[in-house]
Amino acid sequence: MGKAERDSDGQIAALKKVAEQFAVAVTPHIQAQIDPSDPKDPLARQFLPDAAELEIHDHERDDPIGDAAHSPVAGIVHRYPDRVLLKLVNVCPVYCRFCFRREMVGPGSKGLNADQLDAAIDYIATHPAIWEVILTGGDPLIVSPRRLKEVIAKLNAIPHLGVIRIHSRVPVVDPARINDEMIDALQASDKPVWLLLHANHAREFVGEAEAAIKKLVLAGVPMLGQSVLLRGVNDDAATLTALMRGFVECRIKPYYLHHGDLAPGTAHLRTTIAEGQALMRAIRGNVSGLCQPDYVLDIPGGYGKAPIGPEYLSEDSSINRTADGEASAESRYRVMDYCGDVHTYPPKP
């Protein structure tokens, strides 16, 4: 056996171990978009298993954003006062290699049964401070339109709810699911139903995916976009710009750019925060404000999201004094423009 054959056998064995530990699935639509001749293909990097996933670091966590600490009943995560997550299912049409719930999702993972769903809905109904419900999972759009319509109807009947939000990758990874029945289910609520689309590279907005997004937008479904900053996928200014412009050209407002969570086996895909801040500074001013997401970190342990973009404003250390030596009543700040030049505010006379 030659060295190439031994290396190949070793790689196959490693990938089998990855598949034993973490769920693997790729839709035919995504398979058709991956360029097998490109070893650095950004879609392959997102969806195809990598032996590097077997490298688990001590600081990585099975529940990196602390869902369990805020789960009063099955399927509910109540981290913020006015909104809850409703984790309807634990399966997805594809499994992202950087998924922060990778220890909890996959084939065989059960979603909420009828009694658990009723208990989750009852929790929402008995907590009037909850204004927004976010359907997540897994991917909630993997369920049948009939079931989705039933869940939306239950939520629509809760008087104090103001909005229903759905987080999904389906329009770009399995666009055939966005059919007339699914559109009808999304329109079956008196309350506004917002769809937050997860995409990480401009190549995801192609062909059938672009058509599915257009169908949603023309049906009046308001859409926002979220992405994860990923090494080798979107961690340079040109690629990140193309991604954010791709959202906007599809009539989707970029909402969040997530720093990679500390999920097991994902270190090879995480950037540093400093690299993320530099990228956000690079696209500030040079790219339309429509294309600017909030760069956020989900604080490990369940403490919520924090904006971690670059700072542009600081207090001026030189305090102006009046003629009698008293401090001026008006504070002065140093503010950096998008070119990196520093100015004072209010401007010095």
Q: Which amino acid makes up residue 324?
A: D
Residue 305 among the catalytic residues: yes
CA-closest candidate to residue 255, choices 223, 288, 284, 226: 226
Catalytically annotated residue among 45, 79, 169, 281: 79
Catalytically annotated residue among 83, 149, 245, 281: 83
The Cα angle at residue 335 between residues 334 and 340, in degrees rounded to 5 = 120
**Interacting residues of 274 by C-beta distance below 8 A, sequence separation 6+:** none
Catalytically annotated residue among 41, 67, 87, 92: 92
Separation of first and last alpha carbons in the chain: 80
Catalytically annotated residue among 45, 50, 97, 99: 99
User: How far apart are alpha carbons 346 and 122 in whole angstroms?
Assistant: 53
Backbone phi and psi for residue 334, each to the nearest 5 degrees, phi listed first: -105, 125
| Rg for the chain, CA atoms, rounded | 23
Catalytically annotated residue among 45, 101, 245, 270: 101
Residue 147 among the catalytic residues: no
Residue 87 among the catalytic residues: no
Query: Cα dist. 96→144, 192, 198, 309 in Å?
Result: 22, 28, 11, 24
Question: Can you state the angle between helices 114-125 and 145-156, rounded to 10 degrees?
Answer: 30
Residue 281 among the catalytic residues: no
Report the DSSP pairing between strands 163-168 and 132-136: parallel
User: How far apart are alpha carbons 338 and 74 in whole angstroms?
Assistant: 46
Catalytically annotated residue among 50, 96, 174, 235: 96
Catalytically annotated residue among 147, 305, 332, 334: 305
Residue 79 among the catalytic residues: yes
62 alpha carbon, distance to own chain's centre: 18
Catalytically annotated residue among 235, 261, 270, 295: 261
Other CB atoms closer than 10 Å to residue 291's CB: what's the count?
A: 21
Burial of 304 (0-12, 13-18, 19+ CB in 10 A): middle
User: How far apart are alpha carbons 291 and 286 in whole angstroms?
Assistant: 10
Residue 339 among the catalytic residues: no
> Which residues are the active-site residues?
79-80, 83, 92, 96, 99, 101, 261, 298, 305
